[in-house]
Structure 1
Amino acid sequence: MKQVATIKEVRAEIAELKAQGKRIAFVPTMGALHEGHLSLIRLAKQKADEVVVSIYVNPEQFGPNEDFEDYPRQMEDDLKACKAEGVSLVFTPNDEIMYGSGTKYFSIDIEHMNEHMDGGSRPGFFEGIALVVNKFFNIIKPDVAIFGQKDIQQFQILKQMVHEFNHDIEMTAAPIARANDGLALSSRNAYLSDQEREIAPGLYRALKYVERQIRDGVMEPKLLLGHQQDELEAKGFKNDYLNVFSMKTMKPVKKLEAGSTYILAGAVYLGKTRLIDNIILDL
């Protein structure tokens, strides 16, 4: 496994692999790798000959009051994990490499797909993600890129970006990796106290309960969702959102229809920790 930090170096390594006829899979990360990230790497190995992982905490996707400074960073452990999983190349740029210095004249705007879910709660979040991922795609030019279903809105937005910007990249979403009690794995889970960690799976349980009711025939789940929000608040969560969204538009849906695909998604706070989770509903 090789680690490189500059664009020139990573392009040279990729060019050498492609000259050998290798198919390249790319897994972008912000580090603090856990089993969820490793599951993405394992899927990438099934999809391609060589796996490239980026480790970069992107400042553009953090709001002014968010946890950029406190976001967990553990480069040494991350590199060991990548090596153990058979990653070929790890790209570890810094802010100067990714964004340079001086005045910036270009940005990426997103219409409609970022108005609800996480985009509604975190203004500028997806613009920052689209910007850095677009840069990574231009630098690495992978054949396939692997993302996690936990960040389903991110995946759908980036998939649309790939389509509109004509990137020749296959986009793949890997299933959510979970702890034994159902909690979706996340680097931010490290922020949870022991007591918070104990009740954290409550969000997933609420989603599973709503899913069962929908599959049993509840096609207008507004009251059901409201009841689950009340239950979560009573257990110590602070609700951000809990709703059913269109897979295509990322907008909330009041009445579900058989034959359509939806995202049942929620975001909550436990103390200062924000948790997200979702279930795909193919009705």
Structure 2
Amino acid sequence: MKIVHSVAELRQTLASAQRPAFVPTMGNLHEGHLSLIRQARPLGDVSVASIFVNRLQFLPHEDFDSYPRTWEADCAKLEAAGCDVLFAPREVDLYPEPQTFKVQPDPALADLLEGEFRPGFFTGVCTVVMKLFSAVFAGHAEGVSVFGKKDYQQLMVIQRMVQQFALPITVLGAETTRSEAGLALSSRNGYLSEAERAEALQLSLALRGLGREALAAAHALPQQREALEAAALGALKARGWAPDYLTVRRRSDLQAPQAGDPLVVLGAARLGSTRLIDNLEI
């Protein structure tokens, strides 16, 4: 595996490639990230991963400084997974000057759910992903990038960005990797105590329960659906969680569903000091 740090060096390294397959990460890698690498590898003639903790997508009170950084372990895992090139820029490499030009995503998609509780988050995500795409795919007629469905709304935002900017990149969503018990793997799971890790499974269980009830009441009025969501929120609160949302949405645009729409159930909640997200297509 070749490790490069500058955009110029990355472009030189990929100059002879025809179709890069790219997985962006913020490091602190787990099996979910590695599964993305393994899925990406056969889709291109060179596999590329990035590690960059993006300051632009963290709010002032969030965990940018304390976000886990596990460089040596990450490199070993990527190499074992068959990654060909690791792009690991420093902040000055990716943002050599203040990033005053930013990518503003469609508010209809980006200002709800995660965007409501983390204002500006998707602007930071889109801006860094656009820069990473520019670094990886410049000079290539086509490319592919793989994102996990655990960050469901993020995947939709990136796919919409690529579509609207007519980028020659196929953005694919990979299924969420879970523990044997069903917990969605996340870098932030490392913040959890042993007792919290056991409790963390309740978020996915709450989503499954809400999904079952939503399907059983497929023709319910909006007020009835909202009552189901409120009951699911209340049940998590009773267990000591601080939920931001548990909601049923249509998959196509994350708006309130109509009868017959394919559905996704999404949730975000804080357990102790750790904020977890999960989703389930139903």
For the residue of structure 2 that corresponds to 1:201, the secondary structure is: helix
Q: Report the counterpart of residue 101 of structure 2 in structure 1.
A: 106
Q: Report the counterpart of residue 144 of structure 1 in structure 2.
A: 144
Looking at structure 2, the residues matched to 250 and 97 of structure 1 have their Cα atoms a distance apart, in angstroms, of 35
Residues 276 and 130 from structure 1, CA distance in 2 versus in 1: closer, same or farther, beyond 3 angstroms?
same
Q: Report the counterpart of residue 28 of structure 1 in structure 2.
A: 24
Q: Report the counterpart of residue 54 of structure 1 in structure 2.
A: 50
Contact 1:27 1:54 survives alignment (8 Å): yes
1:75 aligned onto 2:76? no
Q: Report the counterpart of residue 9 of structure 2 in structure 1.
A: 9
For the residue of structure 2 that corresponds to 1:63, the secondary structure is: coil
Looking at structure 1, the residues matched to 110 and 254 of structure 2 have their Cα atoms a distance apart, in angstroms, of 7
For the residue of structure 2 that corresponds to 1:265, the secondary structure is: strand
Looking at structure 2, the residues matched to 134 and 89 of structure 1 have their Cα atoms a distance apart, in angstroms, of 19
Contact 2:17 2:45 survives alignment (8 Å): no
Task: Summarize deviations over 1:226-266 as a string: whole Å, max 9, x none.
Answer: 11111111111111101112333333x1x5411x2232100
- Letter aligned with residue 203 of structure 2: L
Looking at structure 1, the residues matched to 218 and 117 of structure 2 have their Cα atoms a distance apart, in angstroms, of 27
1:245 aligned onto 2:241? no
Contact 1:114 1:250 survives alignment (8 Å): no
For the residue of structure 2 that corresponds to 1:10, the secondary structure is: helix
Looking at structure 2, the residues matched to 211 and 244 of structure 1 have their Cα atoms a distance apart, in angstroms, of 7
Q: Which moved more, 1:242-251 or 1:26-35?
A: 242-251
Looking at structure 2, the residues matched to 228 and 188 of structure 1 have their Cα atoms a distance apart, in angstroms, of 23
Residues 194 and 105 from structure 1, CA distance in 2 versus in 1: closer, same or farther, beyond 3 angstroms?
closer
Show structure 1 runs of 5+ residues with no match: none
1:197 aligned onto 2:197? yes
Looking at structure 2, the residues matched to 108 and 250 of structure 1 have their Cα atoms a distance apart, in angstroms, of 20
Question: Structure 2 matches for 1:163-182, cutoff 5 A?
Answer: 163-182=163-182
Looking at structure 1, the residues matched to 235 and 117 of structure 2 have their Cα atoms a distance apart, in angstroms, of 21
Contact 2:31 2:185 survives alignment (8 Å): yes
Cα distance, 1:24 vs structure 2: 1.5
Looking at structure 1, the residues matched to 250 and 114 of structure 2 have their Cα atoms a distance apart, in angstroms, of 14
Looking at structure 2, the residues matched to 181 and 225 of structure 1 have their Cα atoms a distance apart, in angstroms, of 24
Looking at structure 1, the residues matched to 268 and 54 of structure 2 have their Cα atoms a distance apart, in angstroms, of 21
Q: Report the counterpart of residue 85 of structure 1 in structure 2.
A: 81
- Letter aligned with residue 211 of structure 2: E
For the residue of structure 2 that corresponds to 1:113, the secondary structure is: helix
Contact 1:229 1:242 survives alignment (8 Å): yes
Looking at structure 2, the residues matched to 242 and 15 of structure 1 have their Cα atoms a distance apart, in angstroms, of 45
Across the aligned residues of Structure 1 and Structure 2, the Cα RMSD in angstroms comes to: 1.4
Residues 219 and 194 from structure 1, CA distance in 2 versus in 1: closer, same or farther, beyond 3 angstroms?
farther
1:66 aligned onto 2:62? yes
Contact 2:218 2:259 survives alignment (8 Å): no
Looking at structure 2, the residues matched to 219 and 202 of structure 1 have their Cα atoms a distance apart, in angstroms, of 27
Q: Report the counterpart of residue 277 of structure 1 in structure 2.
A: 278
Task: Summarize deviations over 1:189-218 as a string: whole Å, max 9, x none.
Answer: 000111111110001001111222233344
Give the TM-score normalised by structure 1.
0.93
Question: Structure 2 matches for 1:221-236, cutoff 5 A?
Answer: 221-236=225-240
Looking at structure 2, the residues matched to 190 and 234 of structure 1 have their Cα atoms a distance apart, in angstroms, of 24
How many residues are treated as equivalent by the alignment? 273
For the residue of structure 1 that corresponds to 2:124, the secondary structure is: helix
Task: Summarize deviations over 1:131-178 as a string: whole Å, max 9, x none.
Answer: 000001111116100000010111111111101111100110000001
Show structure 2 runs of 5+ residues with no match: none
Q: Which moved more, 1:42-51 or 1:165-174?
A: 42-51
The percentage of aligned residue pairs carrying the same residue is 40
Cα distance, 1:270 vs structure 2: 0.4
